[in-house]
Structure 1
Amino acid sequence: MVARVMTTAFHGIDTQPVEVQVSMSSGLPCFTIVGLPDKAVAESRERIRSALESMGLALPARRLTVNLAPADVLKEGSHFDLPIALGVLAVMGVVEPDLTERYLALGELGLDGTLAPVSGVLAAALAAVALERGLICPAGQGGEAAWAGPNEILATPGLRELLAHFRGTLVLGPPEPEVAREGAPLADLADVRGQESARRALEVAAAGGHNLLMAGPPGAGKSMLARRLPGILPPLDPREALETSLIHSVAGLLEEGRLLRARPFRAPHHSATMAALVGGGARARPGEISLAHHGVLFLDELPEFQRSVLEALRQPLETATVVVARARLSVTYPARFQLVAAMNPCRCGYLEDPDRACSRAPRCAEEYQGRLSGPLLDRIDMHVEVPAVNPLDLKRLAPGEPSAAVRDRVARARAVQAARLSGEPFSTNDGLDGDALLRFATPDDAGQRLLNRATEEFRLSARTYHRVLRVARTIADLEGEACVCAPHIAEALSYRARPVPRYT
């Protein structure tokens, strides 16, 4: 007799159905797992053995063979515990084989038979829908699975409760879809006093999803501004929430199986490796740029990152995807993130203060800024200088405009963009390209003349030319203007000026 239970293998956010085939035959007692399992899958034998013993069951003194089909695909992760255990119980006659064949199962077994949370439940639930099967998963992740809407969800705390449900002595009720709880209140933009030009740039960047680089001396408020960006961004719409939560589910970062509703804000330390930022490792896990999908990636002290790591951002900034290639597999993750970066003008940070600048100025600035390549800077839509603020002036300055008022303007601008870009794979102006850019961002005659003159005088690249148009389109949306005019082009050009001086 061969029992069959469906589960899935993960390749990034994609899944591949895996059939767990369990056979019991005569021969010397053994428990063999074949089908290219990794170490975690191979060790499931001992977890299953202990879990069954805790329930008063013992493995039969016969030959047990488990095949994970297709056999030429690498099987990774502890989520294979539950489907293998169900297959073993089916060949032992404890569970009806017809029952197990109706579900896609995943979960990690504890030694006492309880189920521990695993990554990828949301992706597995979507796979169950495609296969027209129910889903069996750990109890704490039923709310996550419910968003995909499989035919039936059995969210069970352990193997014992699952068997009781199959026997009819316990009913596992359907879980309810859950979203993340409200976190701590977001930092308010009203806390920022002064820095009007930087505040305006932050609003424009939020409205159009544009990349932003802020440069200035230490203590000027660059990080403070960046950390208030989430407070002026609209929440995720249902499609974005599902896409973003799917990535976090595969990474095992969905807290209590609750879908995200706030845009992610990821701020890795400048010591982050290539695999941490872009994705990779033995199992090709998603990196920070994918975890920031539909959200913000904040890179503080930008030149302190390894140059190879920063250069790896160039392709994702253009394509909104990242391909993590390994010898055994190639995984594609979505990476439509908004890059916000901050930097000092030089290593000491006081380049323009002759009383505090180091003895190597201005050479130190040239070396420090030289860590950032031209192609990378060309992909950042807006460059803003954040000057120092005299601490004695802070008390005299009035509080800034609160985040709620700015968020309302950003939401209105984004609503205009979403209506205009209906049917496009993007909903904000940062994605405008090709024909869409010509149709929606072509300036009037005065604006075109200004842009042409600036292109010749500043020798703008084609990429920079297009990015100026995108930013100008966003400025027009904030002003409620249907046409991109010369003042919008002029403001967009001001954000392309290099925020810190270069020395030759």
Structure 2
Amino acid sequence: MTVEVHLANGLPSFTLVGLAETEVKEARERVRSALQNAGLEFPHNKRITVNLAPADLPKDSGRFDLAIALGILAASGQIDGSRLAGHEFAGELSLSGELRPVRGALAMSLALQAAEPALALVLPPGSAEEAALVPGAAVWRAVHLLDVVRRFLPEGSAAADGPPGEGWSRMAGGAPAAAPAVYPDLADVKGQAAAKRALEIAAAGGHGLLLVGPPGSGKSMLAQRFAGLLPPMTVQEALESAAVASLAGQFLLERWARRPTCSPHHSASAAALVGGGSPPRPGEISLAHQGVLFLDELPEFPRAALEALREPLETGHITIARAARRSQFPARFQFVGAMNPCPCGWRGAAHRACRCTPDQVARYQGKLSGPLLDRIDLHLEVPALAPRELLEAPPGESTAAVRARCVAARGRALERQGKPNQALAGREIDQHARLDAAAAAFLQTAAARLGWSARATHRALKVARSIADLEGAAGVQVAHVAEAVQYRRGLMMDGAG
């Protein structure tokens, strides 16, 4: 974005052009008041034209305030406009001239890293610390408009030659040494050995997971602890995740290098889930990038919202196309869904009878389309625990112990093929699965009897590869395939009625 300012003789006015949203147009009053209250001269007797280029791109938020103010000061000769070259400015102005944080600072810093030549970024407190996380970034923090003005006064003036004020400082670039992220402990979940095993396989191979069980069986507890089983974030993954959160104004420095778990309410619309708006903004699936997207009460989500998940589950990104603009956001998340087996929730429960008819159960489970279920690698029934088992069961394995196995298994996959097993496609599956003859025959028989599609068969094969990696096996054997088949049986309609 470029801000251009022109002063001309004529009837005094302040015109702002360049497809600006309402909050950008309101910069006229903020800039005028900030300049006056800071003791600077506002050219009241001039015709002021501010152009935000490119003209066909919508502009929003108050981040243009600082650049507009500096443009007016440069055009009126109060600062040296030539010294502004090589700098990018963003910040919202208060009426007193103080600078306020803006969203998207980290994304701006990442974009400037690719610029030639490298540019320095001037930001308010709060935004500067965020942008400085990018390694090698040149970021300056300014507290007040006057702190910026003093840096760009004409050479030879007393204020320009003096030392910078306390409100102007350079930020140390690079990400801080992140402390180990703290997640809820898997040991809090009693029993549910099969579900914990499925979580371990999903974390090891990057697979999606669907948990089906009655209310209170522990589905949400399991899902909220899933992110702790994933490998620690690399600096690049942390930057990607933080950049998306920064665009949405949700980045917090204390959550740096911690994998997010996004769990939107089931009333969320398709646009809220995948992104949208004008200009387009990232949705929940992008905020879950490099983390976990947990959808509880899955059949209660709008059908359009669920169907919009198909492509991101396959590609790892979402493309939002509108008449005026096309935007692409990353969306490489691990999916965890949870649902009841029937409308009342008690189908198959030992301690309570289900009152749903087969038609009601079929209609409820039919809210999830076959193509969507086909893209979820593991389907697991989570039974309700008996009171005695719940009260007397000892704590299970800790998150740290399970994560160590998951990290080792994923490390084997990355060493072998350079990507998690879930991301394998086409010839890569045949090349790296390494099925022995008995395992191949077993998989063919199971796929034929269960009526699997080609996608379902390949996904079961990738799950079997992850199970083999957890055991440290070089090839996929019959036992690995048999366990993978158990996780692809789909929703069961023949439970207790």
Q: TM-score, normalised by structure 2?
A: 0.92
**2:300 corresponds to 1:314:** no
Provide the rounded CA distance (Å) in 2 between the counterparts of 1:299 and 1:314. 14
- Aligned residue pairs total 482
CA distance, structure 2, for counterparts of residue 389 and residue 272 of structure 1: 31
> Which of 128, 147, 159 pairs up with 2:145?
159
Which residue of 437, 440, 445 maps to 2:432? 440
Range moving further from structure 2, 245-254 or 404-413:
245-254
Counterpart of 2:39? 56
Q: Give the secondary structure class of the aligned counterpart of 1:139.
A: coil
Tell me the SS of whatever aligns to 1:395: helix
Conserved? CA contact 2:343–2:356, under 8 Å = no
Q: Which moved more, 1:360-369 or 1:48-57?
A: 360-369
Q: Deviation at 1:57?
A: 2.1
Q: Does 1:136 align with 2:119?
A: no
The letter for the 2-side match of 1:275 is A
Q: Tell whether 2:243 aligns with 1:251.
A: no
Q: 1:183 to 1:108 in 2, by over 3 A?
A: farther
1:81-480 pair list within 5 angstroms? 81-129=65-113, 130-131=115-116, 132-149=118-135, 152-166=138-152, 167=160, 168-171=162-165, 172-176=168-172, 177-178=174-175, 185-256=182-253, 260-353=256-349, 356-422=352-418, 427-480=419-472
2:474 corresponds to which residue? 482
Among residues 24, 29, 38, which one is paired with 2:12 in the alignment? 29
Which position in structure 1 is the counterpart of 2:22? Answer: 39
By how many angstroms is 1:160 displaced? Answer: 1.6
Cα separation, partners in 2 of 1:314 and 1:34, compared to 1, 3 Å: same
Assess if the C-alpha contact under 8 Å between 2:410 and 2:420 holds in 1.
Answer: yes
How far apart, in 2, do the equivalents of 1:474 and 1:183 lie? 25
Shift of 1:304: 0.9
**1:180–1:40 distance in 2 versus 1, CA, 3 Å:** farther
RMSD: 2.1
Secondary structure of the structure 2 residue equivalent to 1:450: helix
| Aligned-pair CA distance for 1:268 | 0.7
Identity %: 49
Q: Hey, what's the Cα distance between the residues in 1 that align with 2:349 and 2:472? A: 41
Deviations 1:178-208 (A, max 9, x none): 5597699422111222111111001001111
Q: Secondary structure at the match of 1:154?
A: strand
Q: Deviations over 1:429-468 (max 9, x none)?
A: 1101112112111311111011111111112110001101
Give the 3-state SS of the residue equivalent to 2:64 in structure 1: helix
Deviations 1:372-411 (A, max 9, x none): 1111111100000111110122233222111111011011
Q: Secondary structure at the match of 2:392?
A: coil
- Secondary structure of 2:468's counterpart equals helix
| Aligned-partner Cα distance in 1 for 2:135–2:183 | 32
**Structure 1 residues 289-312: Cα deviation after superposition (integer angstroms, max 9, x where no partner):** 011111100011111111111111
| TM-fit CA distance, 1:357 | 3.4
The 1:184/1:453 distance shift into structure 2, 3 A limit, reads closer
1:87 and 1:100 in contact (8 A); partners too: no
Q: Secondary structure at the match of 1:345?
A: coil
- Which runs of no fewer than 5 residues in structure 1 stay unpaired? 1-17
CA distance in 2, matches of 1:443, 1:151: 48
Unaligned runs of 5+ in 2: 153-159
